[in-house]
A and B are shown apart, each in its own frame.
Chain A
Amino acid sequence: MVVITRDRYVVFQVLSEEDLPNLSLIKAKIWDEYQKIFGISGTTGAGLFFDNYKEGGTGIIRCDHKALSNLMAILSRITNISNKDVILIPLYTTGLVNKAKSYLKTLEKQIIKELSEGNRNGRS
């Protein structure tokens, strides 16, 4: 029997006052929290895959469509990564990877624009 899995792509953003953690730390934290709440069986069933993480603190997490609500709960539970206060915000959820990527692109442009505006205001 052919089983077609349906994936969901979650665009997320990391916010922190300090330096943003790198992808491996974020990955480890999400896996750890997922295992804590849903166990090893739940974690393997979720099929988590991290993609397109950029230095601005944005990225995409792919998961099984049945595990979406669990993943969202886990992202909401995280308040610190390696002793740094952070907040992980799921911004957009879609079933198409191209849509997620194009949203991410727009978001990055917006972040760069905000940063440059902030720098300009800071100088003046």
Chain B
Amino acid sequence: MKDPEAFTSDSALSCENYVSVDNLRNLKLFSKIVKPLRINLFSVDDLNLDNVNELITSDEAKKYNVTSLIEICNRTVGKKFGLMDFRQTIRDTIIDANFDIHILISRKTLEEDSIENLKRKLSELRNKHEIIAVKADDIKILKWAAHDRRVDYITVDLLSSHLTIDKALCSLMKQHNKYFELTLSPLLLSDNKLVSAAIRSGKKIFKLISSTNTHFILTMNPKSCYQLRNGIQIRYLAQLLDIPFNRSNKSVFDNQLIIALKNTMKLDRSNIVDGIREDG
């Protein structure tokens, strides 16, 4: 008889791309839930790079094997490493640690009401966070954000009062190689009306995304630790929005990891984009 570990393949690796800091307050409960779910990569909202470093050096975090993406990348400094090597290193680290490792990534979600405010915030925060996402109700702001190199994701809320994306935005996102981030937490609500509205709007959004073949990622944005779900569960939940299982295979770990690694390398080497270095 094989042991339970042997049944798990690499596809079982999972990432939660939108965790709030409140979830990390009770690290014991967080670790207890996350270990059997095998979620190892977390983008923590409102936590900048300094906060992440503080957190991982605390005594409690050491007990639960909490680390950061930069720390793992720094272990390989000196060797000539590319993006794919780093990706493999992260995968190997998780599997070697028997899935009992929590890798933190700093993230900021910007919810601004004008393009001017967004520009100002982006210039302030771009060196402090590895991931920057934009969430807005105004499609003009989203269209501006879609072509900005500092923005990684555009977060789409399934419960917003009106559809915040259109075909033009989707093709703009595709053109600039940006990702939509679909948060599936409304699907866990107990109110039938809200769940129905979320499914209806989710189906419309995916139809648009699918028609232009734009990249997307799936996340839960959990309000509590009990709303955390692993990659496979998220992909099954996404089927309620007519997202085929085989189209979401990279949307729960690979895409998130690649974007986070690209940004980590960019910050580490002070690059504006790949190969172009910033002065000063």
Contacts and interface: CB of A to CB of B under 8 A. Distances in A.
Contacts of B33: 15, 87
B226 to A, nearest CB: 4
Nearest to A107: B4
A110 B2 CA distance: 13
Interface in A89-124: 89-92, 102-103, 105-107, 110
Interface string A14-38: 0101000000000000000000110
Contacts of B3: 106, 110
Contacts of A36: 192
A73 B187 CA distance: 10
Nearest to A68: B236
A76 B237 contact: yes
B226 A85 contact: yes
In the A-B complex, the 10 residue pairs with the closest CB atoms: A72-B236, A76-B233, A85-B226, A73-B236, A76-B237, A79-B226, A102-B1, A87-B226, A73-B237, A76-B229
Nearest to B223: A79
A111 to B, nearest CB: 10
B149 interface: no
Nearest to A16: B226
Interface in B224-262: 224, 226-230, 232-234, 236-237, 239-240, 245
Contacts of B228: 87
Contact of B188 (A79, A102, A105): A79
Contacts of B280: none
Contacts of B192: 36
Interface string A39-79: 00000000000000000000000000000010011011101
Interface residues of B, number: 28
A102 B4 CA distance: 10
B172 interface: no
> How many of chain A's residues touch chain B, expressed as a range?
20 to 34
Nearest to A72: B236
Contacts of A107: 4
A89 B29 contact: no
Contacts of A76: 188, 229, 233-234, 236-237
Interface of B: 1-4, 7, 29, 32-33, 36-37, 187-188, 192, 195, 224, 226-230, 232-234, 236-237, 239-240, 245
A85 B224 contact: yes
Given A13-B36, A37-B240, A72-B236, 4 more contacts: A72-B232, A73-B237, A90-B232, A103-B4
Nearest to B238: A73
Contact of B1 (A69, A75, A85, A106): A106
B197 to A, nearest CB: 14
Contacts of A102: 1
Contacts of A15: 32-33, 36
Given A36-B192, A87-B226, A69 B36 contact: no
Nearest to A105: B1
A98 to B, nearest CB: 11
Nearest to B32: A15
Contacts of B236: 69, 72-73, 76
21 contacts: A13-B36, A69-B239, A69-B245, A73-B236, A73-B237, A76-B188, A76-B229, A76-B234, A77-B237, A79-B226, A79-B227, A85-B224, A86-B226, A87-B33, A89-B36, A89-B230, A89-B233, A102-B1, A103-B7, A106-B1, A106-B3
A73 B227 contact: no
Contacts of B237: 73, 76-77
Contacts of A13: 36
A91 B245 CA distance: 18
